[in-house]
């Protein structure tokens, strides 16, 4: 989605995703994620908001129009929708992560396994491990941003391929939205 805007846009999305992960880490360390994991209503609200957002992004990609770019080859394309600011891209990455209740459940289920029962300050240990996880996740997201931007530059010359990839990615987002909407807790 942001690959056509270059690696900086992908990095903005990666930083947004990482910021959303920090919110989940702090919420889990403070015990707030336990409320989400144990409250059916809270889980359902966050789950449906996240599913609606993924469906919106997916349908937007599927329906995006393409037009020839008059500044380059006849076969190249640009999205008819205007490029998003880095701030908006960051916020979209943040929303995508923060509205995913499975992230909160993941931190509640996964990280405590690596904290000794005798640890003097479990919250600090949880924050430390969560930050390590998030750092590695952001490195991976930045790698994907760089790789996608590079591939986008190579694939941009084919109008049909670009339109097809946008539709395919849109369908993936829609399927994730549907899967999230029908996901069970735990």
Q: How far apart are CA 3 and CA 155, in angstroms?
A: 11
pLDDT at 157: 59
The H-assigned helical ranges of 64-158 are 86-98, 101-110, 122-155
| 186 in a structural domain | no
For 53-72, what is each residue's pLDDT tens digit? 888 888 988 887 755 544 44
pLDDT at 44: 83
Report strand pairing: 77-79 vs 66-68: antiparallel
pLDDT at 79: 46
**How many structural domains does the chain have?**
1
- φ, ψ for residue 67, nearest 5 deg: -140, 150
Expressed as residue numbers, the domain containing 133 is 3-181
For 67-91, what is each residue's pLDDT tens digit? 554 444 444 444 444 578 899 999 9
Which of 54, 166, 50 has its CA nearest to residue 102?
Answer: 50
Over 90: is that where the pLDDT of 169 sits? no
For 121-154, what is each residue's pLDDT tens digit? 888 999 999 999 999 999 999 999 999 888 877 7
32 exposure class (CB count in 10 Å sphere: 0-12, 13-18, 19+): middle
| 117 in a structural domain | yes
As a whole number, mean pLDDT of residues 96-100 equals 89
Mean pLDDT of all residues belonging to the chain = 82
Q: Which residues have C-beta within 8 Å of that of residue 80, sequence separation ≥ 6?
A: 64, 65, 66, 67
Higher pLDDT, 81 or 8: 8
pLDDT at 7: 87
pLDDT at 128: 94
pLDDT at 6: 82
Which of 147, 129, 102, 151 has its CA nearest to residue 11?
Answer: 147
| 74 in a structural domain | yes
As a whole number, mean pLDDT of residues 103-131 equals 87
Alpha-carbon distances, residue 79 vs 21, 58, 114 (angstroms): 30, 15, 45
């Amino acid at each position: 989605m942001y690959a056509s805007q270059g690696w900086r846009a992908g990095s903005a999305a990666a930083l947004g995703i990482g910021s959303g992960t920090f919110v989940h880490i702090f919420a889990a360390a403070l015990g707030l994620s336990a409320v989400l994991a144990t409250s059916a209503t809270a889980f359902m609200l966050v789950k449906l908001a996240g599913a609606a957002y993924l469906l919106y992004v997916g349908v937007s990609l599927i329906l995006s129009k393409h037009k020839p770019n008059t500044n380059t080859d006849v076969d190249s394309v640009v999205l008819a929708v205007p490029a998003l600011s880095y701030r908006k891209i960051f916020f979209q990455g943040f929303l995508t992560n923060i509205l995913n209740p499975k992230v909160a459940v993941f931190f509640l289920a996964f990280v405590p396994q690596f904290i000794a029962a005798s640890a003097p300050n479990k919250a600090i240990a949880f924050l430390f491990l969560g930050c390590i996880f998030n750092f590695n996740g952001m490195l991976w997201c930045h790698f994907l941003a760089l790789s996608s931007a590079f591939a986008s530059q190579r694939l941009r010359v084919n109008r049909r391929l670009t339109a097809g990839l946008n539709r395919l990615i849109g369908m993936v987002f829609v399927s994730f939205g549907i899967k999230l909407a029908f996901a069970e807790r735990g």
